[in-house]
Structure 1
Amino acid sequence: MLLNKWLNYRIHRPENPISSAAIVLIHGLFGDWQNLGVLARDLQNHFTVIQLDIRNHGSSPQAETMLYSEMATDVLTLLTHLKQTSIIAIGHSMGGKIVMAMTAIAPRLIEKIVVIDIAPVTYQINRHEKIFSALEAVTQAGVTSRQEAAVIMRNTLTEESEIQFLLKSFDKGKWKFNLPILKKEYNQLMGWKTIPAWSHPALFIRGSLSDYISENYRKDIITQFPQAQGQIILGCGHWVHAENPAAVIRAIHRFLAIPADKQ
């Protein structure tokens, strides 16, 4: 199911970009355009940076399906609308899968990709069951404030950082993401269809404490992204860009060959 409206987005154009390629930042599940803000604030000093809400998140249009091919097309349609002719795509988790799916649809448009803590594989484990339960409990309770929602969520979730992240999308008693659709399409979001090899530079960043990118997935990564290189950020979990943004930014700077005097 394709959208009939543009994705919600923000774009920042620096006065003197170091490249004609624009950077597009794509958030993960339950997020919005602000989630990779720490990266945007740094990279917008050097590149045109586009931040967006994917379908069924934030202020973007709603849709009944969440196929990666569709979500990649959503982003590419927006980029065409914005007249972008060269792209560096960066995505975290689900956003990383969207980035990878984009390479199969528009391989020549994309110059480089950065995939943060996700692999091009199908994940068999339901990693979000407790989160869905907590979100649904808030909806059923009919509360309107984040403080009330937090109390309810703590009955199910134990990590306060996770609760606070989710609450960023709770406004006036409603979730900004389409909870019923995300739950219905969850298997699609955890899934993956192998794509043709994309022989351009690809950086895979993972937290050392995260199991989203394991050694078992090395063959899957290299088969689909022959020029892939990896960067492990020590002491970090799945939210590596939030836990150690400086290390992630340094890795991206090296990968994009940003001159030292520009950093």
Structure 2
Amino acid sequence: MKLAYKLYPKESSSGNPNSKDGINILILHGLFGSSKNWVSIAKKLSLYGDVYTIDLRNHGDSPHSEEHSISLMAEDIDEFIQDHSLQNTILLGHSMGGLVSMLYDLLHPGLLKALIIQDISPRPYPFAYDKEIQSMRIPIDHANTRAEVDGFMSEVLPDAFIRQFLQMSLERKPEGGYFWKLNVEGLSKARHMFENVFLPHMSSGTKSLFIVGGDSTYITDSDRELIRSVFLNSEIETLAGGGHYIHYTHASQFLDRIERFIKGVIA
């Protein structure tokens, strides 16, 4: 599948002794997200190389499909890397995008320069997003304003932060009313996407950084052991007080840790 993306070309290396040519950074968003979620971080990371923010299938401007799985998205990323002849590639993935990044690395040993994973572990996860799906199934064809759409959604989904996150994929139709760029129905049918992704024998020697939220429910103590057993050359950084969206809630700390890691990778 040909994925939509935004390219943030590498900035001039003038005055930056840590920058070298040839690094490509691919950023993979989480479920219900898009490349829009990563504009600020992509601009900052373009100091170190070309940065591609990807819209995974059924998200953003990428094509919709009735099929949606981690393995298919890993194949999409492989196609993207080959189509663009990318080398010295660093994958940065959040949540669903992190699972895709990890699986790609495990299936293509030695191809990545490095791996950066945000708040997810190489194990099965439940599909715990029924309220999100339900809130996006509410008819919005004739809504007059985004505030009106938000009001509809709030009856099902009380969390204002999550509603605002979802509404980054909300678009207004030229004739009036709104629609979701997300393939809501397609994603609702992919309830098993987080199951049976990783096989027991899989392991990787890729230099890896896992950044997790100290208050996140996605990472347990056993997950930390699992990460180290699967990704043999990994380090785990915990951002105190952070949840699942630390790239937004703890952006400065998150970016600082990534920059220090990338500088070490390209030194």
Normalization by structure 1: what TM-score?
Answer: 0.90
Q: 1: distance between equivalents of 2:73 and 2:107? A: 11
Q: 2: distance between equivalents of 1:63 and 1:224? A: 31
Query: Contact conserved, 2:36 with 2:168, CA < 8 A, in 1?
Result: no
What is the deviation of 1:19? 4.3
Q: Deviations over 1:84-138 (max 9, x none)?
A: 12200001110101110110232222111110011111123x4212111111124
| Pairing 1:179–2:184 present | yes
Q: 1: distance between equivalents of 2:144 and 2:93? A: 31
Matched residue, 1:233: 239
Of 32, 35, 38, the match for 2:37: 35
Matched residue, 2:16: none
| Pairing 1:219–2:220 present | no
Taking only aligned residues, the RMSD between alpha carbons, in angstroms, comes to: 2.0
What is the deviation of 1:219? 3.1
Matched residue, 2:148: 148
Q: Deviations over 1:26-47 (max 9, x none)?
A: 0011111121222202101221
The change in CA–CA distance for 1:177 and 1:144 in structure 2 (over 3 A counts) is farther
What is the deviation of 1:158? 2.0
- Structure 1 residue runs of 4+, over 6 Å off? none
Q: 2: distance between equivalents of 1:94 and 1:190? A: 12
Q: 2: distance between equivalents of 1:145 and 1:185? A: 30
Q: 2: distance between equivalents of 1:119 and 1:107? A: 18
- Can you give the 5+ residue segments of structure 1 that lack an aligned partner in the other structure? none
What is the deviation of 1:206? 0.8
Matched residue, 1:210: 216
Aligned length: 254
Q: 2: distance between equivalents of 1:103 and 1:258? A: 19
Comparing 187-196 with 169-178, greater Cα deviation is found at 187-196
- Can you give the 5+ residue segments of structure 2 that lack an aligned partner in the other structure? 14-18, 173-177
Matched residue, 1:192: 197
The change in CA–CA distance for 1:41 and 1:100 in structure 2 (over 3 A counts) is same
What is the deviation of 1:192? 2.7
The change in CA–CA distance for 1:144 and 1:60 in structure 2 (over 3 A counts) is farther
The change in CA–CA distance for 1:200 and 1:132 in structure 2 (over 3 A counts) is same
What is the deviation of 1:258? 5.9
Matched residue, 1:128: 129
Q: 1: distance between equivalents of 2:221 and 2:107? A: 27
Of 87, 90, 102, the match for 1:88: 90
Q: 2: distance between equivalents of 1:93 and 1:70? A: 16
Q: Deviations over 1:125-169 (max 9, x none)?
A: x42121111111245x75363222100111122221211111111
| Pairing 1:75–2:77 present | yes
Q: What fraction of aligned residue pairs are identical, expressed as a percent?
A: 27
Query: Contact conserved, 2:8 with 2:43, CA < 8 A, in 1?
Result: no
Matched residue, 1:54: 56
